Structure 1
Amino acid sequence: MYLDWQPSNVFPDLCRRSGLNPEDANACLGGFISHYLSTPGRTENQARWDSLLINWMQRDRAKAQGRLQAIGGRNYGPDQSGASKPAGPAQRAAELAAATRDESGDWLSEEYDQFA
């Protein structure tokens, strides 16, 4: 890593494929470069640096949303506001199950009935 490092020409496409806005890279580039400059002797090729920056952006986005998404599957418990963060796959399954119920609490069966 060096102070004037910039993502490659294919980086915007990689961002879009990862569901990220390439313009958001500018906001985190300074922190990213500073972090890796503080790791002397670390050498990566351009493609790997691009990948590391995309991972960095995904973590930043997850933090901004108040949780760590499926990046490592970690749950760090309550945040500073006291609100619990999602617990991972089990929590997501419960949310999906709740979404398949109508207001009375009954399972939405219209779609299911067509297959019965």
Structure 2
Amino acid sequence: MAGDWIKFELITLDKPEVCQIADAADIDCDAVVGKLLRVWGWFDQQTADGNAPSVSKRLLDRMVGVTGFCEHMKLVGWMVEADGVISLPNFDRHNGKTAKNRLLTAKRVAAHKAANGKGNGNGNAANVSDALPKEDVEKSKEQHNTQRAEGDFAVDPNAPIEMTLNWVPDPDLLKNYALRMAMPVDLFTHDAIGAFVCHYAASGRVETQAAWVSLLTKWIKRDAAQATGKVTPLRRASGPEANFDDTGWLEGKQ
């Protein structure tokens, strides 16, 4: 199951498709919206990709209490039937784990930018948590702890995030990148990371967690190379050494 909530846009309340279904089913638009939520919620909970090969339209009609409701959804393009299998078109845009992760990431980035615009340095964790019911927040914490116990990263390496002054690299990601670059982890001191963060925090740049750690690794490696670099001495020209006691030049000798 993808979760205990689904994405719903308020504009759906007034979409022409809702009115068409209401006319076809001879019910009011508010009732249509409620029954659509029942259908969408069922697909979100019971399918992984919006395809339901083992369920019939009759079963879904019975679930929403309107005979022919699935046919009305097909009429407006909100349900597809092929070879006896019913599915929801564009399911991954609005439902499923991937769509929900995209939505939460967008809300997190937007909340953080809004907080920065107001001079609020408290971050965006509270805003993101408020977007979900309390039980979902607790469930996310449990999943996070389980992943850590299994040795996974504490953060999603592919999750986009804007650089802020309170950013710190994920220890596991940092260790892996440092190992790949043949760098000792003790090079990543608080001061070294601070210089990197201050450089990028004012840019408003957004990268994935993995990309930020990769940039940090290259930054530290460059600084280390500059700090330990040695100046190569100039090579002396070949030939006999100069004799400063020779006075032959006074007699026209060369």
TM-score interval for Structure 1 and Structure 2 normalised by the shorter chain: 0.5 to 0.7
* Percent of aligned pairs sharing the same letter: 35
Secondary structure at the residue paired with 1:55?
Answer: helix
Question: In the alignment, is residue 37 of structure 1 matched against residue 211 of structure 2?
Answer: no
Select 1:5's aligned residue among 167, 180, 183: 167
Query: Equivalences for 1:9-20 in 2 at 5 Å?
Result: 9-20=172-183
Deviations 1:31-74 (Å, cap 9, x if unpaired)?
Answer: 000000132x211110000000000011011101226xxxxxxx
Write out aligned runs for 1:1-116 (5 A). Answer: 1-8=163-170, 9-26=172-189, 27-39=191-203, 41-66=204-229, 83-84=231-232
Secondary structure of 1:44's counterpart equals strand
Query: Whole-Å Cα distance in 2 between the matches of residues 10 and 48 of structure 1?
Result: 10
Structure 1 runs of 4+ aligned residues shifted over 3 Å read: none
Return the structure number with greater helix share. Answer: 2
The answer to whether the Cα contact below 8 Å between 2:173 and 2:210 also exists between their aligned partners in 1 is no
* TM-superposed deviation, 1:29: 0.4
User: Which residues of structure 1 form unaligned runs of 5+?
Assistant: 68-82, 86-116
| Amino acid paired to 2:194 | G
TM-score relative to the length of structure 2: 0.26
Q: Distance in 2 between matches of 1:14 and 1:38?
A: 25
Secondary structure at the aligned position of 1:54 is classed as helix
What SS does structure 2 have at the residue aligned with 1:10? Answer: helix
> Normalized against structure 1, the TM-score is what?
0.53
Q: Which has the higher strand share?
A: 2
Aligned Cα root-mean-square deviation (Å): 1.8
Larger Rg computed on CA atoms: 2
Instruction: Kindly state the Cα deviation for residue 84 of structure 1 after the two structures are TM-superposed.
Output: 3.9
Distance 2:208 2:176 in 1: 18
5+ residue gaps in structure 2? 1-162, 234-254
Partner Cα distance (1:35, 1:10) in 2 = 21
1:71-90 CA distance string (max 9 Å, x none): xxxxxxxxxxxx448xxxxx
